[in-house]
Chain A
């Protein structure tokens, strides 16, 4: 390819040269893909049931690449999460028309990005053969109903007809992976709905074959969209294959959408076919075999609509220190009718668990420098059953812990990875606050670090001395002023608390913050920042008094450390 590039000039390109160049690029790309993803799947539109078109790549060969993709994707997820969170909060504020439009753009672009990243992650997991497929009982009609409900919310005021038809005679109780099946249906239906301008989208579910313990279910997604040109039909399932603009738009930005679907269906021992006529529409059909299951108890099954009502009046304790995430949690849980207790202080949280009837704990394990797990220990150790059996859901961005087993070993009932969508959280909350969950709290496999009562405070005054250009006498003067500031703060706060003057508290905490930061006294700064936030938001007097008390206990320790450091510097 290099040779052809060297003698390359755009204007002089003849038709044959152009096609030769294109051919070189194509084979280069194929080689790259081959190296990356392993053996390339055969290009076929019709795949029989027995055909396992997925050849899992030799694990050893591609583990390195998988890790790379994984870490890049997760590296993208964090800033994306922040963009999404911030835009959601912005959307709450007062915006003019222009700003609203721009915000919408940001939001849809970030959603698109998240989808792309998730697709890439999923694809890499599938290609490496490590994606987990469940074999659990589920209710088919309910699943289809939930999918239908979600699709209806997608349609909004589009003038298209959406109909779902399930053939009679299909057994309700099946065994398989319901979330993967939902994923496939929502993906295909979602695409169809998004790109059909007028006409209809239809889902048909029927039984293709029935054996003694198995059924082969057939699903057909039909739309009256613009259809796909014949030449693109062959490539629609292949990753990275570019078809014409419309097809590309419809089937996924990275070009991975349908290829992921195809892989998933393949792993479930099924097959997928596509038929399309430009100008008339498209039909995607897939078949998956399922084992027949037994009747399920009704306790865990609630319809999508009833789900939201299920959380009304639930008391939720949230451990989160990021103010942005705190706001978001508050907002979401409140819309679902929950009463929210929010704290980043583990001791206060434990106290709440004793005093209030908490139904659920949502925890960010990274608060207080990863103290979340020690806190979970403390909860599970508690002699009172009402505390130790509280369901705990961890909310984490730490993908290294994406194995469910490790979360349960640490004492969590469940976990959810950020960024997540609200439906996921809702679903997990419902799943984990059942009686069964309450009666079977996870046991901690190995004890994680104990909760530290008092970290020996070390104050680093060297940078401050540098700011004072090495003059210790100046540093001493500053420290005297610092102590004065703190004592003033303690006194003023006591009065403000008695008078329940939240504005005064906010002002006092803001004022002392600057000085605290100057001497790098982080523990005190953290406490004061909490006081500041709470004074300006939910104004929980009890919490504020608690924090004031913490400050009173913490300050003498810090003061001693400062004096100690000063003496050291004086001696030099």
Chain B
């Protein structure tokens, strides 16, 4: 099992995509918490920072950039963050990197590819 029970926060407002990714991540052994908007993300983070975070660049009430900023600067957390980007948001991805994101994957997201990237980030830690 690649996940080994590691906890993962999935911040994604597109239900369809989120369902598929959650399904695959759980199959791979991760413990997935799904937040579909910024409020839920904050609530979940208050309960504890997960082992890795996968977040969409754009969500209601919160953007991926704000999340990275919040984690790195306010929570001083080194948790690995992977950003899901979409067409037209390339500039924001660069911003996210500057603030401390670790990797990105663009839509349409291939679940297999995401699994590889998640695994890679966790090995580094």
Q: Kindly state the separation between the CA atoms of A241 and B108 in the bound complex, as whole angstroms.
A: 52
Question: Would A515 and B27 count as touching, CB distance under 8 A?
Answer: no
A485 lies within 8 A of chain B by Cβ: yes
Q: Kindly state the separation between the CA atoms of A157 and B76 in the bound complex, as whole angstroms.
A: 58
Question: Would B108 and A481 count as touching, CB distance under 8 A?
Answer: no
Contact with A along B40-51 (1 / 0, CB 8 A): 000000000000
Chain A residues with CB under 8 Å of B107's CB are 514, 517
B19 lies within 8 A of chain A by Cβ: yes
* Number of A residues, CB within 8 Å of B: 16
Interface residues on B, range: 10 to 19
Residues of B within 8 A of A (CB): 14-17, 19-20, 23-24, 27, 86, 107-108, 110-112
Q: A467-B111, A469-B27 are in contact. Are A515 and B16 (CB under 8 A)?
A: yes
Q: Kindly state the separation between the CA atoms of A467 and B22 in the bound complex, as whole angstroms.
A: 12
Q: Kindly state the separation between the CA atoms of A459 and B42 in the bound complex, as whole angstroms.
A: 39
Question: Would B16 and A478 count as touching, CB distance under 8 A?
Answer: yes
Chain B residues with CB under 8 Å of A510's CB are 86
Question: Would B24 and A482 count as touching, CB distance under 8 A?
Answer: no
Contact of B24 among A467, A484, A511 (CB under 8 A): A467
Q: Kindly state the separation between the CA atoms of A31 and B15 in the bound complex, as whole angstroms.
A: 68
Q: A517-B108, A518-B108 are in contact. Are A485 and B16 (CB under 8 A)?
A: yes
Chain A residues with CB under 8 Å of B19's CB are 477-478, 481
Apart from A467-B20, A481-B19, what 9 extra A-B contacts exist at CB < 8 Å? A467-B111, A510-B86, A514-B17, A515-B14, A517-B107, A518-B16, A518-B17, A518-B20, A518-B108
Total A-B Cβ pairs within 8 A = 39
Question: Would B20 and A478 count as touching, CB distance under 8 A?
Answer: yes
- Residues facing B in A178-221 (CB within 8 A) are none
A91 lies within 8 A of chain B by Cβ: no
Contact with B along A86-120 (1 / 0, CB 8 A): 00000000000000000000000000000000000
Residue of A at shortest CB range from B23?
A: A474
Chain B residues with CB under 8 Å of A492's CB are none
Question: Would B14 and A482 count as touching, CB distance under 8 A?
Answer: no
Chain B residues with CB under 8 Å of A511's CB are 14
A468 lies within 8 A of chain B by Cβ: yes
Please give the distance in Å from B1's CB to the nearest CB on chain A.
Answer: 14
Q: Kindly state the separation between the CA atoms of A517 and B20 in the bound complex, as whole angstroms.
A: 13
Question: Would B86 and A514 count as touching, CB distance under 8 A?
Answer: yes
Main secondary structure of the interface of B (DSSP, over half): helix
Residue of B at shortest CB range from A520?
A: B108
19 contacts between A and B (CB under 8 A): A467-B110, A467-B111, A467-B112, A468-B23, A469-B24, A474-B20, A477-B19, A478-B16, A478-B20, A481-B16, A481-B19, A484-B15, A510-B86, A511-B14, A514-B16, A514-B86, A517-B107, A518-B20, A518-B108
Question: Would B17 and A515 count as touching, CB distance under 8 A?
Answer: yes
Q: Kindly state the separation between the CA atoms of A484 and B19 in the bound complex, as whole angstroms.
A: 13
Q: Kindly state the separation between the CA atoms of A467 and B110 in the bound complex, as whole angstroms.
A: 8
Question: Would B14 and A514 count as touching, CB distance under 8 A?
Answer: yes
Contact of B15 among A468, A469, A481, A517 (CB under 8 A): A481
Contact with B along A258-269 (1 / 0, CB 8 A): 000000000000
Please give the distance in Å from A287's CB to the nearest CB on chain B.
Answer: 58
Please give the distance in Å from B19's CB to the nearest CB on chain A.
Answer: 6
Residue of B at shortest CB range from A485?
A: B16
6 shortest interchain CB distances as A-B pairs: A515-B16, A481-B16, A517-B108, A467-B111, A514-B14, A481-B15
Q: Kindly state the separation between the CA atoms of A515 and B19 in the bound complex, as whole angstroms.
A: 11
- Residues facing B in A23-55 (CB within 8 A) are none
Please give the distance in Å from B38's CB to the nearest CB on chain A.
Answer: 16
Please give the distance in Å from A169's CB to the nearest CB on chain B.
Answer: 64
